[in-house]
């Protein structure tokens, strides 16, 4: 017999022995009966207790109480069975002890009275449990039908209260997941719409200029050269957009390839400043670097961090008015290196700051393409945030009409 099957039997036998000892502690000191009465009571209690244990174990083993259609009926059956066992045990014991007929009838009447009161009272108390269970069942049904706002009161400290708390936590988690799913689906639709627009526009421009040259509408060498330069610029833009989309797809799939190695951040900054110097000079924008000496090496993917630096500097130069300044600062904090890119003049409205790291977000439509022909993909800041967070850092932006705009990111030192 397995331990699981033995435990109920031992529990029932232990209960009978405990009940006998408790009865003797009351019977013997108060009545001081002769030893033969004690022995007789022992045999009577042992017999009635053994029969009771056998009956209860039979009900337990057969799982008869689980065949009711409702837990309410099961609880009522348990209450009635408990009262019935008390009545039978007391009646049989009293009968075997040869008490008078008068006392036996009176005892029986009192037992019936007490049993009915106990059964009704226990049934009323048990109904509160069934109501809470039914409430939980109704809530689970509503949740299954899609009502993720379903909650139930978690009153008390018992198992049902803890179950209600767990149910509410589960419902909240499902609601959060559903909300995130909706946002992700909306983001996906926006991504498809924006990407389609940004791909269609340069393609239409390339097609129009190419057809003009093929049809002979444009034939003078100067115009043809200008069209070819514009076609080349549009193809460059398409290549950049496709590369950015690929980077985002890699980050979304968790497959962003970060080949880390110990890197000198000042060397990365010097290289990046060299790549943006021509654009800065074209716009008459001064680019200043302020780097603290003796910075430690950082364990990063150099190409990704250089991409972040380029995106931020390129963005800052684009939005800085002529004769403005772009300042790149690097300083060491307790456990991080802090890199900031500040530009004068151009600012970002406060209501737009929470959205600037969203994909394809360019703020004002007029900023999508400048008079110089510069057009970003609207993905640079989103990619920068993805790369920085993949390195365990963070990136933020602040903008003030008096000071300008500053992008700041951190890297673990």
Sign of CA dihedral 293, 296, 302, 306: negative
Ranges of the chain whose pLDDT falls below 50: 1-4, 364-373
Contact call for residues 311 and 380 (beta carbons, < 8 A)? yes
pLDDT tens column, 100-144:
666 767 777 776 777 677 777 766 766 777 777 788 888 888 888
- CB neighbourhood size of 79 (10 A): 19
* Token pair of 305 as six digits: 């961090």
In the prediction, which pLDDT does 367 show? 38
In the prediction, which pLDDT does 99 show? 65
In the prediction, which pLDDT does 63 show? 66
In the prediction, which pLDDT does 340 show? 94
pLDDT tens column, 4-29:
466 666 776 777 677 777 777 776 77
In the prediction, which pLDDT does 1 show? 46
pTM beyond 0.75: no
In the prediction, which pLDDT does 343 show? 93
pLDDT tens column, 83-98:
777 777 777 777 666 5
In the prediction, which pLDDT does 331 show? 92
In the prediction, which pLDDT does 158 show? 74
pLDDT tens column, 349-367:
888 888 888 766 655 443 3
Q: How far is CA 244 from CA 146, 178, 240, 251, 387, in A?
A: 37, 28, 6, 11, 12
- Distance (Å, whole) CA 345 – CA 32: 104
| Domain architecture of the chain: domains with CATH | 3-144 (no CATH), 259-413 (3.30.565.10)
- Distance (Å, whole) CA 204 – CA 210: 10
Nearest to 362 by CA among 346, 350, 348: 348
Q: Does residue 385 sit in helix, strand or coil?
A: helix
33-62 exposure pattern, b = at least 16 Cβ within 10 A, e = fewer: eeeeeeebbeebbeebbeebbeebeeeeee
């Amino acid at each position: 017999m397995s331990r699981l099957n033995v435990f109920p039997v031992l529990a029932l036998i232990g209960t009978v022995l405990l009940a006998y000892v408790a009865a003797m502690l009351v019977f013997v000191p108060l009545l001081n009966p002769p030893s033969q009465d004690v022995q007789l009571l022992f045999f009577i209690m042992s017999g009635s207790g053994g029969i009771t244990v056998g009956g209860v174990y039979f009900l337990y083993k057969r799982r008869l109480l689980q065949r009711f259609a409702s837990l309410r009926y099961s609880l009522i059956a348990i209450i009635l069975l408990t009262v019935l066992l008390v009545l039978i045990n007391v009646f049989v014991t009293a009968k075997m002890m040869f008490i008078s007929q008068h006392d036996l009838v009176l005892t029986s009447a009192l037992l019936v009275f007490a049993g009915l009161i106990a059964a009704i009272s226990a049934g009323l108390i048990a109904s509160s449990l069934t109501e809470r269970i039914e409430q939980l069942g109704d809530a689970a049904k509503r949740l299954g039908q899609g009502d993720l706002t379903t909650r139930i009161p978690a009153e008390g400290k018992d198992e049902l209260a803890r179950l209600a708390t767990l149910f509410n936590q589960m419902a909240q988690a499902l609601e959060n997941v559903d909300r995130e799913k909706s946002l992700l689906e909306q983001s996906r639709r926006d991504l498809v719409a924006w990407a389609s627009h940004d791909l269609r526009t340069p393609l239409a421009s390339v097609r129009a200029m190419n057809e003009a040259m093929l049809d002979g509408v444009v034939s003078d060498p100067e115009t043809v050269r200008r069209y070819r330069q514009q076609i080349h610029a549009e193809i460059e833009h398409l290549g950049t957009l496709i590369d950015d989309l690929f980077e985002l797809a890699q980050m979304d799939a968790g497959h962003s390839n970060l080949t880390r190695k110990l890197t000198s951040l000042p060397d990365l900054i010097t290289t990046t400043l060299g790549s943006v110097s021509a654009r800065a000079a074209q716009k008459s924008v001064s680019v200043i670097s302020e780097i603290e000496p003796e910075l430690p090496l950082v364990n990063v993917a150099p190409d990704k961090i250089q991409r972040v630096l380029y995106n931020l500097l390129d963005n800052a130069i684009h939005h800085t008015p002529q004769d403005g300044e772009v300042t790149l600062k690097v300083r060491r904090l307790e456990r991080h290196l802090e890199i900031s890119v500040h530009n004068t003049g151009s600012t970002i409205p406060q209501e737009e700051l929470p959205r600037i790291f969203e994909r394809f977000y360019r703020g004002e439509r007029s900023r999508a393409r400048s008079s110089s022909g510069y057009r970003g993909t609207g993905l640079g800041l989103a990619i920068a945030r993805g790369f920085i967070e993949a390195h365990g850092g963070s990136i933020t932006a602040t903008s003030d009409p008096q000071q300008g705009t500053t992008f700041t990111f951190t890297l673990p030192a």
